[in-house]
Amino acid sequence: MATITSGIDLGFDLSSEEFWAAPQEERYAAFAKLRREAPIAFFEEPELPFFPQGPGYYVVSRHADVEYISATPELFCSGQGATSIVDLPMEMQEFYGSMISMDNPRHAKIRRIVSAAFTPKMLESLIDDVDTVSREILADARKVAAASGGEFDLVSEVSGPLPLRIICRMMGIPAEDEQMVLEQTNIILSGGDPEFIATPEEGMGLVLTAGQLLSELMLRLAEERKKTPTDDLTSALVNAAIDDESLTDQEIASFFILLCVAGNETTRTATTHGVYALDRHPDQRAAWMADDAMTKTAVEEIVRFASPVTWMRRTATEDVSVGGQDFAKGSKFVLFYNSANRDELVFDNPEAFDIRRSPNPHVGFGARGPHFCLGANLARRELAVAFRNMFELMPDLEVVGEPDRLRSSFINGIKRMTVRINV
């Protein structure tokens, strides 16, 4: 069903499952049309079981408008829901969204406490871990390739395990729990993909169960760290305090869910998209392999090009004006980062993958404002090390066929991507 907004027949509906199952090129073309003809377009909300259909939402497709809304939290709040277009109960929002679905002053308090736990010493040890873990994972992937004629799935063998193992080490999660964390994270971020969730009715139960399992794991670890502190992030979070305020056990559990979901999926997605883009642009790959000085701009371009998190929502706290249009208090705005990152008014030749692109004011980690990604620098480091080590240890890596993409509006994920090396 096509959507008509401001008298323009767009020919597509961003609330439909069919739109997000369409080829990626068609979706990019749809957002280009929005930027040209209806940069703030109204859509009916998707219908979900157990929840009444809401009043609709506005798609924000241009870079400038995404930046403005993100940087003005007093007018556009996150606390009414940042990761769901449909209004969810407050408890559910905070349980799964943690800081993402909070506003000041509570957001600022929790972010300060969490930031205090990320000490320079801890971040330095994480940087060392990234290189060690990356090399271990690539060595294991080579063994898999050797047993199967040189082919393996990049997602399950490399881009998935790397951020997951880093997060688990950072939090002090036992190795035997890593698989459970991966499985439950996939369910929470499935976006309704039928491979993970057969029906919307089933999905709600699976998502609730996934959150409960992750929460129980973190609550157990938090209790252990209170009795026997270690040097991991869980211990730091349990003991961190600012102005005599510390995180509750439930706040720690919710932050862990956020870390698993955001820290795992985004880096996994960016890594996989980066390998695919470099395979399709061998000149870019050759240039980067020949000059490690390009790593900084290359990583930023991968994040822009992949846009791992497709959108976030904000809600107007009063009557507002955006892009020359007026909107009522309570209006929902969905900020499409994938569209902003291809805005022709900001990026020269935005459809081109260019590892030398500079400046590159992408919003792949969110736009400027209080909700800019707390783990952006760690993600950049993971990507830089992962690609450097792939170039060294798998210089002949090539993609076989097309990737199997996640059918989701929220995460621009790739479920599987077969690659080949000489063994």
Q: What is the pLDDT along the chain (423 residues), one digit of tens a residue?
A: 344 455 467 889 999 989 999 999 999 999 999 999 999 999 999 877 677 789 999 999 999 999 999 999 999 999 999 999 998 877 676 666 578 889 998 888 888 888 877 776 777 777 778 899 999 999 999 999 999 999 999 999 999 999 989 888 888 999 899 889 888 888 887 767 777 776 666 667 788 888 889 989 998 999 999 899 988 888 888 887 777 778 888 888 888 888 877 778 889 999 999 999 999 999 999 999 999 999 999 999 999 999 999 999 999 999 999 999 999 999 999 999 999 999 999 999 999 999 999 999 999 999 999 999 988 888 999 999 999 999 999 999 999 999 999 988 999 999 999 999 999
**Helix 200-227 crosses helix 90-97 at what angle (to 10 degrees)?**
60
Contact yes or no for 240/116 (Cβ under 8 A)? yes
Q: What is the token pair recorded at 76?
A: 């556009």
DSSP characters over 258-292 = HIIIIIIHHHHHHHHHHHHHHHH-HHHHHHHHH-G
Q: What count of Cα atoms within 13 Å lies in the side-chain half-sphere of residue 295? A: 15
- CA dist 241 and 249 (Å) reads 13
Q: Terminal CA-to-CA distance of the chain, rounded, Å?
A: 49
Place of tokens 């506003």: 103
Tokens linked to 419: 């690659």
Q: What is the pTM of this model?
A: 0.92
CATH number for the domain spanning 30: value is 1.10.630.10
Structural domain that includes position 146: 4-420
SS3 58: strand
Q: How many domains, in total, are found in the chain?
A: 1
Question: How many beta carbons lie within 10 A of that of residue 345, not counting itself?
Answer: 10
